[in-house]
């Protein structure tokens, strides 16, 4: 960020009729003595020794404070340097309370654009609305209930917008104010007005991502997910508009995006029956058969990895009804092929037709996923116990918890052993724990876990060391999380 400043400084100083190195050095030294920006939402507490307690504040009583580091980074030697901000010394009661309004990425982008347009108001509007909308709704998006609640709290600022030329392409309030509206594209969008199914989920098509700016946008596979891909395409399409007044690339980008199936919600957004989403995949005909599997794929992942492939029929069952019945614990349907890895393996199978290899891999992934998620209620219970333990002193609960922790440790290592050994094709278990275990150790550990979980917990006795127990649980849960991440 300091670079543009030094670049501008060099141009200004060396552009003088008689450039003096000493002047350049003084300026550079002054800049180097300024502490860095504290970052978003953190108070400015460090100052240049030469300018104690000084920040830049909006000229003529206008809103906005920025730290000296950001001022020199974005405004020194620009047309707005002398008009938009003035130096102000913070009073003692203001110290530690003033934050830097240029700390956010979106604010910096708005300032760069405002400088190029010589119009500071562009920055002020973007920051005002952006701070109300807070952040991009991203891949999780918002359903109608969430939109309703947000609007009741914050008003029309948090209105979603649709692209006029392709109304199914929506952008979130934050991206509307800090990107589309800020860059002069407001006339290309309107508040969402089309008739929506009651379970509709708005997903933002202008989300930013960390994917490198040079990444080719010809395939969503180059991005972590299609929402990041859409975001890059739609945002890039604004450029000819704000640079040269040509908005037709935005129209054609929108048209292209609209031909895609609605974006995958990943593992963070489930869809209700009323969302009108379509689901594909296959159902394992013989329960427990490791050579077959059940898989639910969202429409977009289906189009990306199955449609048109030689063995597409393997995954082309209409799973919409099945998915509506077999929902997650929250009653919603989640896509299970939301990563590039998972889509890649599905795609490979749709190419080769080798269902057995695929099914074995998929079933292992599912097992590890279940194991990872099985910790959630356990962790919840443990936290609950910690609360209870403050009030009561549970000896027996401690014994029980310890027994559980011990078996949990074995469950965890059994899981790792399973992974290391690979799939031998044999399954272990009994009627109580099921027959899905890859090693007898894993099945035994699961059995001990059930026994430990059934131990009574009393309400009398000594205080217990729940903090350590919780630590052990979290450690094991983390291990299972990593095991799943390795195949996710």
CA distances from 119 to 57, 63, 216, 430 (A): 16, 15, 33, 73
Q: How far apart are CA 219 and CA 229, in angstroms?
A: 8
Binding residues among 154-173 for Zn ion as defined by CB under 5 A: 172
Query: Over the range 391-423, which residues count as b (16 or more CB within 10 Å of their CB) and which as e?
Result: ebbbbebbbbbbbbbebbbbbbebbeebeeeee
Which H or E element spans position 123?
helix 120-133
Binding residues among 332-351 for Zn ion as defined by CB under 5 A: 335, 338
Non-local (6+) Cβ contacts of 22 within 8 A are none
Q: Return the residue of 111, 129, 142, 175 that touches Zn ion, per CB under 5 A.
A: 175
Phi, psi of 333 (to 5 degrees): -100, 130
As measured in angstroms, the least distance from the Cβ of 100 to Zn ion is: 3
Does 100 engage in binding with Zn ion (CB under 5 A)? yes
Does 204 engage in binding with Zn ion (CB under 5 A)? yes
CB closer to Zn ion, 176 vs 484: 176
CB closer to Zn ion, 8 vs 135: 135
Binding residues among 433-472 for Zn ion as defined by CB under 5 A: none
CB closer to Zn ion, 343 vs 371: 343
CB closer to Zn ion, 338 vs 375: 338
Non-local (6+) Cβ contacts of 301 within 8 A are 264, 335, 337, 338, 343, 346
CA dihedral 343→346→348→354, nearest 10 degrees, is: 170
As measured in angstroms, the least distance from the Cβ of 273 to Zn ion is: 17
CB closer to Zn ion, 335 vs 405: 335
Interface pattern 34-53 for Zn ion (x via CB under 5 A): ---x----------------
Does 188 engage in binding with Zn ion (CB under 5 A)? no
CB closer to Zn ion, 175 vs 238: 175
Angle at CA of residue 77, ends 76 and 82, nearest 5°: 75
As measured in angstroms, the least distance from the Cβ of 139 to Zn ion is: 10
CB closer to Zn ion, 348 vs 396: 348
Q: How far apart are CA 360 and CA 133, in angstroms?
A: 45
Q: Return the residue of 136, 142, 201, 355 that touches Zn ion, per CB under 5 A.
A: 136
Q: How many CA atoms lie within 13 A of 152 on its CB side?
A: 6
Q: How far apart are CA 302 and CA 293, in angstroms?
A: 16
CB 290 within 8 A of CB 360: yes
# binding residues, Zn ion (CB under 5 A) = 16
As measured in angstroms, the least distance from the Cβ of 218 to Zn ion is: 20
Does 264 engage in binding with Zn ion (CB under 5 A)? yes
Binding residues among 281-310 for Zn ion as defined by CB under 5 A: 298, 301
Does 55 engage in binding with Zn ion (CB under 5 A)? no
CB 85 within 8 A of CB 119: no
Does 233 engage in binding with Zn ion (CB under 5 A)? no
CB closer to Zn ion, 178 vs 476: 178
Does 234 engage in binding with Zn ion (CB under 5 A)? no
CB closer to Zn ion, 207 vs 355: 207
As measured in angstroms, the least distance from the Cβ of 70 to Zn ion is: 3
Segment near Zn ion (CB under 5 A), from 128-136, 154-162, 425-433, 451-459? 128-136
CB 369 within 8 A of CB 484: yes
Segment near Zn ion (CB under 5 A), from 129-137, 250-258, 352-360, 426-434? 129-137
* Nearest CA among 474, 477, 473 for reference residue 404: 473
**Contact residues: Zn ion, CB under 5 A:** 37, 67, 70, 100, 102-103, 136, 172, 175, 204, 207, 264, 298, 301, 335, 338
């Amino acid at each position: 960020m300091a670079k543009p400043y030094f670049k501008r400084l060099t141009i200004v100083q060396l552009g003088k009729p008689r450039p003096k190195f000493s002047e350049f050095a003084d300026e550079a030294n002054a800049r180097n003595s300024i502490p860095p920006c504290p970052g978003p939402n953190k108070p400015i507490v460090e100052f240049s020794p030469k300018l104690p307690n000084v920040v830049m504040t909006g000229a003529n009583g206008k809103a906005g404070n920025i730290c000296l580091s950001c001022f020199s980074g974005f405004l020194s030697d620009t047309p707005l340097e002398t008009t938009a901000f003035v130096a102000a010394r913070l009073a003692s009661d203001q110290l530690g309370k003033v934050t830097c309004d240029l700390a956010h990425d979106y604010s910096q982008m708005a300032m760069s654009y405002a400088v190029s347009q010589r119009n500071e108001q562009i920055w002020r509007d973007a920051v005002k609305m952006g701070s109300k909308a807070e952040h991009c709704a991203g891949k999780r998006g918002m359903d109608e209930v969430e939109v309703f609640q947000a609007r009741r709290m914050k008003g029309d600022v948090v209105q979603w917008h649709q692209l006029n030329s392709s109304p199914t392409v929506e952008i979130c309030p934050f991206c509307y104010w800090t990107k589309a509206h800020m860059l002069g594209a407001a006339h290309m969008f309107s508040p969402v007005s089309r008739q929506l199914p009651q379970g509709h989920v708005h997903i933002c098509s202008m989300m930013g991502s960390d994917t490198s700016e040079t990444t080719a946008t010809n395939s969503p596979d180059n991005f972590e997910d299609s929402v990041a891909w859409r975001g890059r395409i739609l945002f890039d399409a604004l450029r000819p508009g704000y640079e040269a007044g040509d908005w037709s690339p935005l129209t054609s980008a929108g048209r292209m995006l609209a031909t895609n199936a609605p974006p995958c919600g990943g593992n963070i957004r489930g869809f209700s029956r009323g969302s009108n989403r379509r689901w594909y995949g296959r159902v394992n005909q013989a329960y427990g058969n490791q050579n077959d599997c059940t898989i639910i794929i969202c429409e977009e992942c289906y189009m990306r990895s199955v449609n048109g492939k030689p063995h597409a029929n393997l995954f082309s069952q209409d799973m919409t009804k099945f998915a509506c019945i077999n929902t997650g614990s929250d009653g919603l349907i989640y896509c299970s092929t939301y990563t590039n890895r998972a889509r890649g393996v599905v795609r490979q199978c749709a190419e080769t037709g080798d269902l057995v290899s695929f099914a074995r891999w998929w079933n292992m992934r599912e097992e590890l996923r279940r194991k990872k998620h099985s910790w959630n209620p356990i962790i919840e219970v443990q936290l609950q116990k910690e609360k209870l333990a403050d009030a009561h002193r549970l000896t027996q609960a401690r014994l029980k918890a310890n027994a559980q922790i011990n078996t949990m440790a074995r469950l965890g290592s059994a899981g790792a052993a399973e992974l290391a050994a690979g799939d031998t094709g044999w399954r272990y278990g009994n009627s109580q724990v099921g027959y899905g275990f890859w090693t007898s150790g894993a099945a035994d550990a699961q059995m001990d876990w059930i026994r430990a979980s059934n131990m009574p917990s009393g309400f009398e006795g000594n205080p217990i060391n729940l903090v350590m127990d919780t630590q052990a649980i979290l450690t094991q849960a983390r291990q299972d999380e990593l095991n799943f991440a390795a195949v996710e």
